[in-house]
Chain A
Amino acid sequence: LAHAEASAFSTRGFALKVVAKEAHSIASMRGIRTIALARTPRRLTALSPSASAMRGAASAARIALARAPTRPAALSSSRRAASSDADRHRSTIFDRRNVEFLLWEQPAFAAQAGDRETLSAMLDAAEDLVESHASADAVADAHEPTWDPETNIVSIPAETRAFLDAQREGGFTLLGADIEDGGLGLSLTASTAVNSIISCGFTSGLGGFYALTHCAANLIKAHGTTEQKDTYVRPLVEGRFGGTMALSEAQSGSSLSNLKAKARHVSGDEYRLSGSKMWTSGFDHDCFENIVHLVLAKIDGDDTPPGNRGISLFIVPKVLPDGSPNDVALNGLNHKMGQRALPNSYWSMEEGCVGYLVGDAKHAGLMQMFTMMNDMRVAVGLHAACCGVRGFQESLAYAKERIQGSALGSKTQVPIIEHADVRRQLLAQKALSEGALHLCFFAASLVDDSKTNEEAATLLEVLIPVVKAWPSEFALEANKWAIQVLGGYGYTRDYPVERLYRDNRLNMIHEGTNGIQALDLLGRKAVMKDGAATRALATAMMRDVHMNADILPDLAADLGEAVERYGATTALLGKELSQNPARALANAHEYLNMVGHTVVAWLWLREAAAAQKALPSATGADVPFYEGKIATARYFFRHELVKTKAQADLLASLETSALDVRPGHF
């Protein structure tokens, strides 16, 4: 059908070029009886090479001679497309209004968001960064880094370098850092808000360079010796040095105890390291003055405990303090499905490789790493959520412009957003991606609050696995629908939605696979301290159930039931855990998703309540905005939260398909 349209368009284009003077003679030559602007393609069938195709197409008269849909702004230079209906100023990349709604209209975040004027100016700066490097992702994705072993150069596109420079010069690397290290001293809530704009604009891994750097800086700041801190923290915070996390090895991913990298003591905190690492992002490129690898290895010696407890953390700089190159060797680049802007490699620590034991503290590797876990898991969840948000924005813009098909009983072709199934796909994306985004903001605010508030700290424990895993699975689902909305075009590389899916897909895997998160949630966090965290979460959710029973009775009632299911299921599984852990944990993944759905429903209830209260005094574009929030919350409850009933039943049945089936049965 698309082919037929294209030919019709080009034929029309030809016909339009036939200008008056020559038209007559040419017309008689070619037997053209009519000139373009015809609405029914029948008149052009004499010219069209694919006439038969068009005739064959169902009801030729219904083929709209529509232009190819305009490309979403993301592929051309910076542009914010305002929509044609009575709608607010929209971008196809992020939703600023929604970010502001979360920050200042959700009571949970306003305190941690800080000074509104300043944060708004920072959000503006983030928007500018996104707009001025709009093509960087697409370019990086089309030009995956390559490694030339002869010159040992890893190719990095100019657009990537320009973006990294802009991030550094704009001060974006300072977002998460303390003032005393030259940072901005912002709360995680505020940083997350700024990063949410950036993560929507750059899904292909561009943000990864400095996300890892931020991690490295925080780790060394939290655990390093004074000398290590003096040498590395400030350059990492300022973005002059890059950081990497070199934990995994070819044979050791989820299972860290299989680690083979070794460290031999030299003197003080200096060691000689040997071994190979796998899946290291950002290893070896020349975008930074130095790259600081944080490497897990086991110290050679009799007093090293076996397994995980024998793991230590080392600083392995690419360039040693005396300026000479460290003995590390890049062995190859991994060819990833997505996030191609960020090189991912396997490399080895050669004979002369020097590493500095972090904090000069032996066997403390995992404990030190865990300091960063919360921040990293929120960051992964945020990346996933923003991939979803971006896909939604792109497909929404497309659905408003793309003319195809008419309403039942009508002959006028309409934009596809008028069709119920397309609206369902858009609703699904909005519900899942905005829910995921809210979840990340919520987790960030808990990280901030947990420093002074006991309840926040407890809630954070049980929510960290959810904030990492739920967006990675369900914002990915949103990406699936984004492709669907664009139809055939969505399946091509000319539109960004397929890339967003590919970029998002890693999030179920890295930073602890979702399977691990599920085991962590059910096996540990849900039941620790006699279920204290579960009780705290249930209590927090029920508070909103009661508070909103009047203004949103149906949603409040449904959530109330879901919270009861959550409590009952957790209690049942907790009991089974002490008797038959394998059986209790067999469907942990379903438990994780059930908890995630319940929590996101709770957050949607909060959004709907805020929207409901704001509606009476809302004006202009705010009216459809708030109505949309309430409609989407309802969708989430009716289409998604209902699934938790089946999940609860499944989990309560303690069914054991996954345990009973044998490898041979496959």
Chain B
Amino acid sequence: GNFVSHSLYLHTVEGVWPLPQSFTSSTERYPLNPKAFYFGYGRQSAAQQDCSVLDAAFKRYFSLIFPDYTSGSGDKPFTVEIRVDHADCDSYPNENSSERYNLSVSAGQASLNAETVWGALRGLETFSQLVYQDDFGTYFVNKTEIDDFPRFQFRGILLDTSRHYLPVQAILKTLDAMAYSKFNVFHWHIVDDPSFPYQSRTFPDLSSTGAFHPMTHIYTQSDVRRVISHARLWGIRVLPEFDSPGHTQSWGKGQSDLLTPCYRGSTPSGTFGPVNPVLPSTYQFMARLFKEVSSVFPDSYIHLGGDEVDFSCWKSNPDVRAFMQKMGFGGDFTKLEAFYMEKIVNITSALKKTSIVWQDVFDYHERIPKDTVLHIWKGTPASYKEELSRMTKAGMRVLLAAPWYINHIAYGQDWRNYYTVQPLNFSGTEEQKKLVIGGEVCMWGEYVDATNLTPRLWPRASAAAERLWSDEKQTSSVDEAFPRLQDFRCKLVRRGIRAEPLHVGHCKHEYQGV
């Protein structure tokens, strides 16, 4: 019938999102029979059976590759043989983890070679996207050669669990979808002004009084462990953010004397401002909290925030003013903020963690430890490029989020804006460009909770994923990306991710939930 034709289009390696760095493929294709399909470890592989990361991945990818395996045809077996150089099966992915892989698909087998298991995971994802079904349900994969590696080492998604609580399930599902787009960092903006859902071992009052609800709207230690271990299996780092001294209203509920009492005239007004930077007890508290955080979260990075500090409360407080006098800060409250941030950064340095801070900290105070990573979040393209130049000139490593504030929605195909960002298009030397470690898609939570998170995030975030993974020259055309992204979006839907449509059209398998 006529209808067959429109779903019968040639699948090629271009169907992989994000686009691999180098590939060749041919029209020669091999049928795959789910009943005779195997994953195996190559003899030379450092990792063998019982490699937790890969064993779990085989299980996952089998059902991703064969979403309905009622139809088995072809009797030739097919094996995906994995070989990795390092048996880092029980470790966590980190900032230096190689994600490079080499995938060679030929008759009866695919060889997947990688330095690390994390690279092998990326290769499995690619392989899973190469497999397709014809109209009779038979699975095929084409002869293909791929050599692939990420352009940027840090490719993150920020979720905000303070403005709205996100159930653990919603986070886990997001981690799944992140892996499909080869994102590798989950930036967990876990607390903020509106609520403090992180249940601290050391300071349980923080969530019992600061969360929206002390029982139902918190992340217990086991919830956090679950997120971290799920992320690890997908090769995703979990970067926690405990933003201070601003954005801390919810902290004050469970920790008295932590926040600065604001004054009206000569009496306290009853409201509170940022963290109180003049009390030694503040730093004792922070040292204990970050000691806990650094042991709970295995990643070597901790995000310390430091953005949008409102000085009006500090200004109103006589003790803070007296402290300013004593320190010789005059009326410059940015110096007070810098003083505070420096102490916090020192706390995390002592814990052997790398600090990430929002750009504000650099803007006010260029004298910060060199290994701190700066996170650009604001401004027009012109101004963030300027900021990139300035920061990298100062020798600092930089993470770019400004062009990917994906919580800002608009009618139409705004993914195109996310796709056409050129993260290294700023004036600076080659050395400076190398200091840009990657980028991050931010989904702030003012208008987002579990009801709309997924369709708002996907596939718009996938546009940024390709920008951060793939070669910029090969992916410079947004119009060429469009059909590929449409195809990828349908893959996401088939995998049960509520990824919204890019424009008019259909998927062979529509989303079946409500």
Do A and B assemble together? no
B→A interface (CB under 8 Å): none
A→B interface (CB under 8 Å): none
